[in-house]
Amino acid sequence: MPAPKRSIMWFRRDLRINDNPALLEAIAAADEIVAVFIIDESLVKSAGSKRLAYLANSLRALDESLGNGLHVMVGDHVEVLSALMQRYGATSVHISTEYESYGAARDVRVEAAGITLVRAGSPYAVAPGRVVKPSDATPYKVYTPFYRAWCLHGWRKPAAGPQSIKTVMPTESERNFPDWPMPNDVSITPAGEKAALERWKFFQKNALNNYDEARNFAAIDGTSKLSAHLKWGEIHPRTLLAGLGESKAHDTFRKEIAWREFYADVLFHNPKSDVEYYAPRFAQMRYDKPGAQFKAWREGKTGYPFVDAAMRQLVREGWMHNRTRMVVASFLVKDLHLEWQLGERFFAEHLVDYDVASNAHGWQWTAGCGTDASPYYRVFNPIEQGKRFDAEGVYIRRYVSELAHLGADAIHEPWLSSDGYSHGYAERILDHGIERLESLARLKEIKADKPQDPRA
């Protein structure tokens, strides 16, 4: 009896069974598949403990959905894949296409070693590079026209789930599941495809139809909280898009998915913009050196309650509400006069949903130096933002216990209350009004002799 034909399904940022074109291709190409995830030690070193703990949980969930058939290997990608192909007689290796610089370069190196990779699908509804201006086929630099063109381009329907998956069962030596423990006093969202689909159903039922209004209020469960699931490919954006209608709320959510795809497209065309200024002239601005104030920002002890609540949420949960991401980013760049890369790196350390394109370009948007830049002179007022989007102080009390005794009338400005500091809350490290003027003065310095921006 001839040996069964086998293919390799190399999982990376697509840790799911459903709506996974690469998996379907692998199944169609062979009688059995060798399902594998390769732990990249270089990425492990750069990932925060929360993200690693989440990944470990996600791999366990994927393994369960594969009937405990997931090979988890540690080592060089070429060596691992070559060994698996030889051991199991696999004739093809199937992947979801990567577009970020690191992943794309890794795949090129694998192919250069003589391993043919069969690509199908990507982490996006529309792959980076596909949406271009019809006039000259150049990439979009502004979100709104990108969004219109992205919608016009359209996307495929979700791929069907496999009817059955016949996996080659790994040996004990091929089951190197990582033991990355959850840090103490940290609570992160459940991982895995099942958890992602359950969260999507919950959001559709309870918050989607009011998303355009509720998404800005930090204290309520008004956002999808699917970012970590999207980051690891536990759910595909096609699945989300297929469940949307044409209401204002649904369109607002569709636009948020498009922002993720826009930033991926920007990084694809500008591969250094994850660390460099998209608008180069801002590299010439006067910035301060990180010191005690940066430490206070990281620890949630700036003395500004809305900022501190957000930073403590990040450290405690590995996630932060999008509204407060903008507020704390503005505080770092405009109030502390620090470069955005410092904040981006801190987010990268703690965010479970860390996505290099979305994180870097979201920071640059708030810093006023990216695509679709919120103008640099737009400075978020940390007091007024709290009053507007956490009027009763529920969010602040949740994360800043030192202020839990204060009512809504005092919690946003505890320095005005006789009881504001009685429970040990930190005093303000700066005066926002003064630092706002300072940030505008520094902007004026680089505008005085403004060089031509090649991206303009």
Residues recorded for the chain:
456
Does the fold of domain 280-448 match that of domain 124-159+194-269? no
**Cα 364 from Cα 359, distance rounded (Å):** 9
Find out whether 167 and 69 touch, Cβ atoms under 8 Å.
Answer: yes
Continuous H helices in 286-421? 292-299, 305-317, 322-330, 340-350, 356-367, 382-389, 394-399
Element (H, E) at 440: helix 432-448
**pLDDT tens digits for the chain (456 residues)?**
677 899 999 999 999 999 999 999 999 999 999 999 999 988 888 889 999 999 999 999 999 999 999 999 999 999 999 999 999 999 999 999 999 999 999 999 999 999 999 999 999 999 999 999 999 999 999 999 999 999 999 999 999 999 999 999 999 999 999 999 888 889 999 999 999 999 999 999 999 999 999 999 999 999 999 999 999 999 999 999 999 999 999 999 999 999 999 999 999 999 999 999 999 999 999 999 999 999 999 999 999 999 999 999 999 999 999 999 999 999 999 999 999 999 999 999 999 999 999 999 999 999 999 987 667 788 999 999 999 999 999 999 999 999 999 999 999 999 999 999 999 999 999 999 999 999 999 999 998 755 444 343
10 Å CB burial of residue 387 (0-12, 13-18, 19+) is middle
| Residue 92 DSSP one-character state | E
CATH of domain 280-448: 1.10.579.10
- Amino acid letter, residue 27: I
Q: How far is CA 334 from CA 173, 288, 296, 308, in A?
A: 52, 11, 15, 16
- pTM, full prediction: 0.94
Q: Which of 369, 356, 366 is nearest to 274 (CA)?
A: 356
**Cα 404 from Cα 392, distance rounded (Å):** 11
Q: Which of 31, 29, 26 is nearest to 2 (CA)?
A: 31
Find out whether 313 and 396 touch, Cβ atoms under 8 Å.
Answer: no
Long-range contacts of 414-422 (CB under 8 A, 24+ apart): 414/305, 415/303
> What is the side-by-side strand order in the sheet with 70-74?
70-74, 32-39, 6-11, 90-95, 117-119
**Cα 228 from Cα 51, distance rounded (Å):** 9
Delimit the domains of the chain by residue range.
6-122, 124-159+194-269, 280-448
What is the architecture of the domain spanning 124-159+194-269?
Alpha Horseshoe (1.25)
Options 3.40.640.10, 3.40.190.10, 3.40.50.620, 2.40.110.10; which CATH number does 6-122 get?
3.40.50.620
**Cα 60 from Cα 134, distance rounded (Å):** 45
Please give the pLDDT value at position 450: 53
**Cα 16 from Cα 106, distance rounded (Å):** 21
**Cα 311 from Cα 160, distance rounded (Å):** 40
Neighbour tally for 378: CB within 10 Å: 11
Radius of gyration of the chain (CA): 24
Backbone angles phi, psi at 387, to 5 degrees: -65, -35
**Cα 304 from Cα 310, distance rounded (Å):** 10
